[in-house]
A and B are shown apart, each in its own frame.
Chain A
Amino acid sequence: DIVMTQSPDSLAVSLGERATINCKSSRSLLYSSNNNNYLAWYQQKPGQPPKLLIYWASTRESGVPDRFSGSGSGTDFTLTISSLQAEDVAVYYCQQYYSTPITFGQGTRLEIK
């Protein structure tokens, strides 16, 4: 199984500041035949299902604000929120869909400082 490890487990950032969440996979998620990284990011607010933010490691889902961006390749990935807004308080998960079992990181709780 591919193990996904996020850091940090929790993060407190001031409004308007940058928030960075890291995700490391135990195996490369880069598929050489199409040069895609099989990595997604989700946001989950209390009492709600997860919401897709980023797929293919860096492609923003339609409707997601451009302050959210994804980067990285292979085994190391980053979700960046360029200017934190109050509505971004949530738990964020990375997910690999390279192979089954599909696995998620443990989650990173983002709060306002």
Chain B
Amino acid sequence: EVQLVESGGGLVQPGGSLRLSCAASGFTFSPYWMHWVRQAPGKGLVWVSRINSDGVDTTYADSVKGRFTISRDNAKNTLYLQMNSLRAEDTALYYCVRGGDRSSTTSYDSWGQGTLVTVSS
């Protein structure tokens, strides 16, 4: 069974940093594109970032470009999101999501439960 377990969320002041992690199990992690999607409280889904299988190819939403960095450690089956210069509008539940193993353009068949990030003073 595919499992994606996020951690690292919490309360942080504006301008602060957090590092989210996503531990993957139940499948061979290394070939898959991986994504982060966020959802502000009571709002819709917003794609944040994606990374290819070897970590070389990364893409970001304009709203986080230059502040967030996606990375992965295939030896540890773990996806990361380093979040710097956090703003109130980054407050959301952050989901780790599995993409495709052959293509960057696929639907999302597996989601984690999410980790909540709250940016507030």
Q: Which of A's residues lie within 8 Å of B, judged by CB? A: 38, 40, 42, 44, 49-52, 55-56, 61, 93, 95, 97-107
Contacts and interface: CB of A to CB of B under 8 A. Distances in A.
A40 B45 contact: no
Contacts of A38: 105
Interface in B33-50: 35, 44-47, 50
A49 B47 contact: no
Contacts of B46: 104
B105 A98 contact: yes
Contacts, number: 53
Interface string B79-121: 0000000000000000100000000011111011110000000
Interface of B: 35, 44-47, 50, 59, 61-62, 95, 105-109, 111-114
Contact of B62 (A52, A101, A105): A101
A42 B97 CA distance: 13
Contacts of A55: 106-107, 109
Given A49-B95, A49-B113, A104-B46, A95 B107 contact: yes
A96 to B, nearest CB: 10
B116 to A, nearest CB: 12
B44 A93 contact: yes
Contacts of B111: 49-51
Which 4 A-B pairs give the minimum distances between C-beta atoms? A40-B107, A49-B111, A55-B107, A102-B47
B95 A52 contact: no
B105 to A, nearest CB: 5
Contact of A49 (B50, B105, B107, B112): B112
Contacts of B47: 100-104
- A42, A50, A51, A97: most-surrounded residue (chain B CB, <10 A): A97
Contacts of A51: 111
